[in-house]
Structure 1
Amino acid sequence: MTVKVKEGIYWVGVIDWNLREFHGYLTDKGTTYNSYLVLDEKVVLFDTVKSEFFPIFIENMKRIIDPREIDLIVINHVEMDHSGALPKFMEIVKPEKIICSPKGKEHLIKHFHREDWPYEVVKSGDQLSIGKRTIKFLETRMLHWPDSMFSLLVEDKVLISQDAFGQHYATYRRFDDEVDQAELMRQAKKYYANILLPYSALVSKLIEEIEKMGLEFDVIAPDHGVIWRKNPNKIIEAYKKWSAQEREKKAVIVYDTMWHSTELLAEGISKGLEDERVDYLLMN
């Protein structure tokens, strides 16, 4: 399966329908490992997939191009669900360069023990011309690994955001406007809470930096879940809210009772919350 994101830009990732646990939390909807292929004077691949999905991954690329024609691979994030297939890819494709952050190079060497690979290190603000297109890089350290970075396809206004703005959401539909919106935001919020919540202060700073740098994009393409094309600002605004850790007026009343007297107390508390117009949940 491949999907056209924009002219010359394709999703060539894989869907993991059966994943039920990831990073210590339940993934009831599975996930995807997203990879993007860009066709220009230089053919560029962004990230790979889990190693066990390499056969599907390479076949997806073959639907678009002979993988051996790929000139560059950008590794935005070294975690194994995005770089696990890299050794097999390098063996078959032999690209000219592996583009990564300084920490990306360090971690790739530690993971794969391959100092001989053709690394090219980039930092925030660096740009790379691949023909008609320019890639601009932004380091996003600790969002959520030290090596993490974004890649912006400047002319196409496509932000490839690695784990940020993602969801563990397995679906053959690839775009935000093709799926149930309530489920999409539930999965995006769950993903943020489990992956990025500890780094909320850094998320706030990152969004400020994106705005300060004047990065323009109308598509956000994360490494998990669906691509935000209809309203990418929706997830940006959600991240602003979640990273600010704004409190809402909500309460949970948990009680146990033998002869209903404690139940009466709990109901009394609930009436007080109702008077103050506080949303609550009563649980026996």
Structure 2
Amino acid sequence: MNNKIQIAEKSFWVGKVDDRPVPFHRLILEKGTTYNSYLLETEKPTLIDTVDISFGVEFVKKLSENFDLNTLKYVVINHVEPDHAGALPALMSKAKNAVIVTTEKAKEFLNGMFKLHNREYLIIKDGDTLDIGGKTLKFFQVPYLHTEETMITYSIEDKVLYPCDIFSTHIATYKLFNDLASEDITEDFKVYYSLIMASHRPYVREMLHKLKDIEINIIAPAHGFILRNNAKKFIDLYDKMSLKNASNKKALILYTSMTGNTGKIANDIYEGLTDSGIEARIINAKTSSIDVVKEMAAESDIIVIGSSTRYGDMIGNIEAYIKEIVSMDLSSKYGFAFGSYGWSGEAIEIINDYLKQSNINLLDSTKIIKATGENDLHLPLRINFYDNAKKVTSVNTGKMAAEFIV
């Protein structure tokens, strides 16, 4: 196969086709995959992403046969997982003058993985542009698609989107372009979405919003086919697949608060749930009855329980409510504990222990990481005191919880 295939003016595919059954995210990709890397031979030559770490030496050798690596000005890293950034150490050992273009979080990860502390970085923010001499690249931060440091790159003059894992397919193809495929790739495209992107649905929606006013003629992802025929079809598929119907889904937020901070967290979680289309109800245990709360719990798909901590324990009468709730059949429901605390926060853990003893589907950090890879949200939700800066965490926790039932 030609090591260098043109996809737009002065823009070339320089990746690697891996036609083995490929281990990937606890799966075996029976159709293999491609690791797509792109070289833009402009006045300031730029490489967008690399290939899997297993092929780093081979990648650099083949790239140097077609291109003088000493002239490489920029290396754009959209996403730091080893199947995209893995060849970076081998590349940078030869491309002595290249600057790494990426996000601040990606820089942190790259330095941690590959010890590139002595290399020059150009840190981008959402919406930044970069003139590479004949082309202008625009960058969009798209966290959690599918890891927190991810960004995507758009070539303004070519109208080519380089979205890394987004819009990918896991197929080893020597034909590269979707209009040359021997069969319809739509099903493979949908399978990739369901395996990699579906659990990040809110972030898919945010990404689509950022792209809504951009004209895209070609989508050049990090895996599988380059979508040069009817790119809009595949954007529309993401739009359709990321729309979920939350109608008739209900949530109960039961709490008790000493100084009002836990009540503020309850309101934030309510905001996150309702923003996701969930009908949420907040109940203060001080002003309701056990019978009413049990009725609401029976009707709810998510049950969220919180308390402030005083003398190492919950406050008020909420424990009596919890005992009644956990004695119910909660097998079809999800739940988690939350609360504000000053110096210890035992009440939150006590609530969590009660939920563990029930048959509820307990949302905790382990479940979140396995489902989404997200490391910023931790459950049970423990907020030390409270301020407006912590509001985002509480709201996002509500949104995350909604994703498990819609």
TM range (shorter): 0.7 to 0.9
Give the aligned residue type for 2:229. K
Aligned counterpart in structure 2 of residue 106 of structure 1, from 108, 114, 123: 108
Give the count of matched residue pairs: 244
Q: Does 2:85 correspond to 1:83?
A: yes
Q: Distance in 2 between matches of 1:181 and 1:239?
A: 20
2:43 to 23, 35, 41: 41
Check the 8 A contact 1:157/1:218 in 2, yes or no.
Answer: yes
2:231 paired residue number? 232
Separation (CA, whole Å) in 2 of partners of 1:246 and 1:3: 42
Q: Which residue of 2 aligns with 1:136?
A: 138
Moved more, 133-142 or 11-20: 11-20
Larger radius of gyration: 2
- Once the two structures are superposed, what CA deviation does each residue of 1:90-111 show, in whole Å capped at 9, x if it has no partner? 1111133100011111111121
TM-score (norm 2): 0.58
Q: Percent identity?
A: 37
| Residue equivalent to 2:32 | 30
Separation of aligned partners in 2, 1:87 and 1:51: 9
Give the secondary structure class of the aligned counterpart of 1:151. Answer: strand
Equivalents in 1 of 2:65, 2:11: separation in Å? 13
Structure 1 residue matching 2:122: 3-state secondary structure:
strand
Name the structure 1 match of 2:68.
66
Equivalent pair of 1:14/1:56 in contact (CA under 8 Å): no
Q: Any residues of structure 2 matched to 1:160-239 within 5 Å, and which?
A: 160-182=162-184, 184-211=185-212, 214-239=213-238
The equivalent residue for 1:261 is none
Q: Paired residue for 1:262?
A: none
1:136-165 CA-to-partner distances (Å, cap 9, x unmatched) read 000010000111111111001111010000
Asked whether the 8 Å contact 2:13–2:36 carries over to 1, the reply is yes
Instruction: Return the TM-score normalized by structure 1.
Output: 0.82
Equivalent residue for 1:274?
Answer: none
Distance in 1, Cα, partners of 2:46 & 2:22: 31
For structure 1, list consecutive stretches of 5 or more residues without a partner in the other structure: 248-284
Alpha-carbon distance between aligned partners in 1 of 2:198 and 2:81, rounded to the nearest angstrom: 18
Give the Cα separation in 1 of the matches to 2:48 and 2:40: 8
Corresponding residue number in structure 2 for 1:275: none
Higher relative contact order (CA 8 A, sep 6+): 1
- Tell me: CA distance 1:55–1:108, structure 2 relative to 1, closer, same or farther (3 Å): closer
Q: Is the 8 A contact 1:73 1:95 kept in 2?
A: no
Aligned residue type for 2:226: I
Give the Cα–Cα distance (whole angstroms) in 2 for the partners of residues 188 and 40 of structure 1. 31
Tell me, in whole angstroms, the C-alpha distance in 1 between the residues paired with 2:81 and 2:19.
Answer: 20
* Matched letter for residue 188 of structure 1: F
Going from structure 1 to structure 2, the CA distance change for 1:180 and 1:128 (only over 3 Å counts) comes to: same
The runs of 4+ residues in structure 1 deviating greater than 3 Å are none
CA distance in 2 between counterparts of 1:227 and 1:7 reads 15
